[in-house]
Amino acid sequence: MPELNDILPLPAENKAVFKFLENRRSNLAKAMGEPGPSEAQLQDLLTIAARVPDHRKLAPWRFILFQGSARADFGQHIASAFMKANPDMPADRAIFEGQRFLRAPLVVGVISSPKECPRGTPEWEQVLSSGAVCYNLCLAAQAAGFGAQWLTEWYGYNNDVTQAMGLKPAEKIAGFIYIGTPSEAPKERVRPDLKPLVSAWTSSQ
Ligand SMILES: Cc1cc2nc3c(=O)[nH]c(=O)nc-3n(C[C@H](O)[C@H](O)[C@H](O)COP(=O)(O)O)c2cc1C
């Protein structure tokens, strides 16, 4: 392991990471193809994803991986959950729904899995940590040369789907992170005007 002192903070003249963050954009899951990460790269990505702020080291999250034929196999659960919830939809919609995970070579389900904490880390903080995992995974994937997008779509909130994934009652989908090789560059996206979003507290408030 490197001495953290040698890495953090980055030397001011190293602008590469700053530029990467300054220009960060998601890739589109629908424009993502092979190859995905190798097994070794996947382990690196998950290791980085798990290196997030986590109050009291609870690791209140876990990962479910969808790769290879598991993507189409799980698609059958997505398709049947969709048709159950929308019985009036034409049958060919089931084909579309069943192919969602086939958009990318790797889909990582990040599960928020809050822990009982005798020392009182609030569940809210544990959920926030799961969001950080999703974001770190996206950044790590892009830093490794892949495209990444964080989606929940409708199936992230469907009980039949979460049951098929084996989620426990207290668990929720934080996100499905689609990872693959992008076939198109992302376009710029309008970013919020910071003016109304930032205020300085003063004692006269
Ligand atoms: C929790 C969460 C769930 C999201 N789910 C969706 C989704 O289902 N569909 C979608 O188009 N974008 C979704 N997004 C937004 C994309 O991840 C992405 O941020 C968006 O396309 C904007 O691109 P950007 O990341 O380059 O700003 C979600 C974002 C978050 C934080």
The DSSP H or E segment spanning 24 is none
Nearest CA to ligand 1 atom 27: 25
pLDDT of residue 146: 98
Residue 193 lies inside a defined structural domain of this protein: no
> How many structural domains is the chain composed of?
1
Q: Tokens 């995992």, residue?
A: 133
Mean pLDDT of 169-178: 98
159 lines ligand 1 (CB under 6 A): no
> CA 135 → CA 83, 120, 151, distances in Å?
31, 25, 11
Contact 194, 117 (CB under 8 A): no
Query: Could you tell me the distance, in angstroms and rounded to a whole number, from the CA of residue 85 to the centre of ligand 1?
Result: 23
- What is the percentage of the chain residues whose pLDDT exceeds 70? 100
Strand partners, 108: 65, 177
Nearest CA to ligand 1 atom 14: 151
Residue pLDDT, tens place only, 35-65: 999 999 999 999 999 999 999 999 999 999 9
Name residue 137's amino acid.
L
Q: Is the pLDDT of residue 1 over 80?
A: no
Residue 36 lies inside a defined structural domain of this protein: yes
Q: Which CATH number is 115's domain given?
A: 3.40.109.10
* Whole-angstrom distance, CA of residue 139 vs CA of residue 149: 10
Residue 83 lies inside a defined structural domain of this protein: no
Residue 55 lies inside a defined structural domain of this protein: yes
Residue pLDDT, tens place only, 66-95: 999 999 999 999 999 999 999 999 999 999
Both tokens of 83, joined, read: 């048709």
Nearest CA to ligand 1 atom 26: 25
Strand partners, 106: 67, 179
Mean pLDDT of 167-178: 98
Query: Could you tell me the distance, in angstroms and rounded to a whole number, from the CA of residue 50 to the centre of ligand 1?
Result: 20
Contact 116, 45 (CB under 8 A): no
CA-closest candidate to residue 100, choices 30, 33, 181? 30
27 lines ligand 1 (CB under 6 A): no
32 lines ligand 1 (CB under 6 A): no
Residue 77 lies inside a defined structural domain of this protein: no
Residue 157, CB-side half-sphere exposure with 13 Å CA sphere? 5
Burial-class residue 141 by CB neighbours within 10 Å (0-12, 13-18, 19+): buried
Residue 203 lies inside a defined structural domain of this protein: no
Which residue range(s) make up the domain with 177?
29-67+105-183
* Whole-angstrom distance, CA of residue 178 vs CA of residue 77: 18
Q: Where are the alpha helices (DSSP H) in 53-120?
A: 69-85, 92-98
Nearest CA to ligand 1 atom 6: 151
Residue 43 lies inside a defined structural domain of this protein: yes
